Amino acid sequence: MVQAYILIQTEVGKSGIVSQTVSDLAGVVAAEDVTGPYDVIARVEAASVDELGRVVISRIQEVPHITRTTTCTVVHL
């Protein structure tokens, strides 16, 4: 299982709708509004790195009002 945090920037005033939409996507464990340079942080789980890429590229980045995403893959040291 591959896990990652997706840091999401949105259009002004759209973080609420983005976090709700993202939280409903398959593979997304949670999506929450935050303060700071990012507007929403989502935790995603996938079976492989390839599947994680598909979740981010084909699902999350297609959500309206998202302007930028940064993917931070969880590592276990």
Q: Enumerate the domain spans of the chain.
A: 2-73
Q: What is the C-alpha to C-alpha distance for residues 72 and 47, in angstroms, rounded to an integer?
A: 16
Residue 27 has pLDDT above 90, yes or no: yes
The Cβ of residue 30 has, within 10 Å, a number of other Cβ atoms equal to 12
Selection from 3, 1, 37, 7 nearest residue 22 by Cα:
7
Phi-psi bin for 36: left (phi > 0), alpha (psi -120 to 50), beta?
left
Q: Taking 90 as the threshold, does the pLDDT of residue 54 lie above it?
A: no
Query: How much is the pLDDT for 58?
Result: 81
The mean pLDDT of 59-68, rounded to a whole number, is 94
Predicted local confidence at residue 2, as pLDDT: 94
Tell me the CATH number of domain 2-73, given options 3.40.50.740, 3.40.10.10, 3.30.70.920, 2.40.240.20.
Answer: 3.30.70.920
Three-state DSSP state, 9? strand
pLDDT tens-place string over residues 32-51: 999 999 999 999 999 999 99
